[in-house]
A and B are shown apart, each in its own frame.
Chain A
Amino acid sequence: MLKLNDVSITFNEGTPDEKKALQSVDLELEKGEFVTVIGSNGAGKSTLMNVVSGSLIPDVGDVTIDDKHVVHLPEYKRAGFIGRVFQDPMAGTAPSMTIEENLAMAYSRDKKRKLIPGVTKKRREMYREYLDSLNLGLEDRLNAKVGLLSGGERQALSLLMATFTEPHILLLDEHTAALDPSRAELITEITADVVKKFELTTLMVTHNMQQALDLGDRLIMMDKGQIIFDVSGEEKQELTIKNLLDEFHRIRGKQIESDRAVLG
């Protein structure tokens, strides 16, 4: 389904700020697989997402989706089959437009946009049904401007907009990080539901280890632009946060270093 082959990308090459954001990353996702990605800041998680979505072009390496080479396909063209939810709840929706207009824009994601009305009676019913599945009461506020919604509601809407056209790949970029714990939990639940419902191939970045363990059927850990740990199946189900941390320290031997940072 999604395949990254020997992907490398370096920022500010040849300057003191040089950063190897991805180093020869290989990753393959089966159809319907739900992979969670963890790692410290600067590990390359977001870069990985951006390489898949097309907002970054890798220096070397290949990205294929459905056996199609997409490395040089611009972001907006790839977006036809990639759904994406950002960390910032404000980023995924157009605030001065109504809920139904936002859904209409998401609806035409995988089609050619035409000079026909984006909201019709028939489509409105469809949008209403999708909103109904969120259980947030948004189905009665189709004509409300999205800017009036709370962060949690906007994120739920973004999630719905990213998924209901059943994209080939779903990218979730710390999409619950900016929400309060109860809203984050709600969005997490909705995420699990929709991914299951539409059987979406999903890549989810998170800083919340518990969330990374609870969701998905495979987990990868990144550090310094490399995938250093990759578990799936039963092994993943039995994983705990402590295991994860131990594993991280075993691989990187960073215990001393981080202790020094805390004490220093």
Chain B
Amino acid sequence: MLISLFGAVESGVIYALMALGVYLSFRILHFPDLTVDGSFVTGAGVAGVAIVGGMSPILATLLGAFAGFIAGCITGVLHTKGKINALLAGILMMIALYSINLRLMGQPTVSMLNESTLFTQIKSWWVASGFDAFFNNIVLSLGVERFSGTWLVFTVMVILTLMVKVFLDYFLKTEVGLALRATGDNQKMIRSLSANTDGLIIIGIGISNGLVALSGALVGQYGGFANVNMGIGMIVIGLASVIIGEALFGKRTIIIATLAVIGGAIVYRIVVTMALRVDFLDSGDMKLITAVLVIAALVAPRMIQARKEKKRRLRKKAELLQRKEGEVHSA
């Protein structure tokens, strides 16, 4: 139980980068970008091919992210310069990327099992550091069952994800970042304040898909392979993370919202893992679970709000009634 839960948290943090990318397009730019399903594979595939070709894992990962950035920029160009509807531009790019990814990879699956990846490279250093024993002792002292997994992936990913989060928080508060946010909020207004909205959308969707591809590159190295179908449904997982995160942790400011998205990605994985442990559900039901989860995250906050509102009104009514009665008595 604990081990599968830990695995869920681990992959949650890896996919959190992808969710941050979706947050940028979906929430900041209000651009429903479906490129994600393709650019995720692009990231994994490019990094995979580069690693197999002997490139250093760090460079290969960055190259994968950059390939995703370019893919996103093209979607942005299709939408702004080609005046293609946002959804359609994303879909077109997504299917185009399927073929492009196959070309890039040369085969449907690129295996990295025997290659040195980002994680295997850090591993030797990690093992020597003795952090695993340290963390496991903490877990043990908390009185949980004995746990002997490695904390390597988790730690690396938490650090990386938080770094990206802090970078994103900072970026969205810079002059360029503010203009980017306003482009999603009120395009007419920011254009009248001399911002090139087309350029901002292109860059924004680019960065979004860069993050998605970065996540893809890391997922590929984590799993040891890149597969041309590994991106299917990615956009839904990203949206689920964003929506669940916002419902659970709020979105008052950018800093809270990005943290919420990371939290949402982890919670999503945990819930799916738990659900799959239920006897009558199997892995084929994952998409259904996801859909139900997103619906719940969308509907529940509104229902809670409505209920609060109703309670408040009833209380007011009761107060009013009491006051009236008081007046009758005193008269």
Contact = CB atoms under 8 A, between A and B. Distances in A.
A140 to B, nearest CB: 19
A82 to B, nearest CB: 8
B203 to A, nearest CB: 11
A136 interface: no
A83 B190 CA distance: 12
Interface stretch (A98-106, A189-197, A199-207): A98-106
A118 B173 contact: yes
B196 interface: yes
A113 B195 contact: yes
23 contacts: A75-B192, A77-B196, A79-B192, A79-B195, A91-B186, A94-B181, A94-B186, A95-B186, A96-B185, A105-B193, A108-B179, A109-B194, A113-B174, A113-B176, A113-B195, A115-B177, A116-B175, A117-B170, A117-B173, A118-B173, A118-B174, A118-B177, A162-B192
A233 B178 CA distance: 43
Contact of B194 (A96, A104, A110, A116): A110
A93 B178 contact: no
A105 B188 contact: no
Contacts of B189: 91-94
Interface residues of B, number: 23
B175 A109 contact: no
A231 interface: no
A76 B194 contact: yes
A239 interface: no
B175 A76 contact: no
B134 interface: no
A80 interface: yes
Contacts of B179: 105, 108, 113
A114 interface: yes
A80 B178 contact: no
A8 interface: no
Given A105-B182, A115-B174, A118-B175, A91 B193 contact: no
Contacts of A117: 170, 173-175
A79 B191 contact: yes
Could you say which interface size class chain A belongs to? 20 to 34
Given A95-B185, A113-B195, 10 more contacts: A53-B192, A77-B194, A80-B194, A86-B188, A105-B195, A106-B193, A108-B179, A109-B193, A114-B175, A115-B171
A143 B63 CA distance: 39
Contacts of B177: 115, 118
Nearest to A147: B185
Nearest to B251: A96
Contacts of A228: none
A95 B190 CA distance: 12
Contacts of B229: none
A86 B190 CA distance: 13
A113 B192 contact: no
A77 B195 CA distance: 8
Q: Which 5 A-B pairs have the closest CB atoms?
A: A79-B194, A94-B185, A113-B175, A80-B194, A94-B182
Contacts of A86: 188, 192
Interface in B167-219: 170-171, 173-179, 181-182, 185-186, 188-197
A109 B195 CA distance: 8
Instruction: Report which residue of B171, B173, B186, B194 has the largest number of chain A beta carbons within 10 angstroms of its beta carbon.
Output: B194
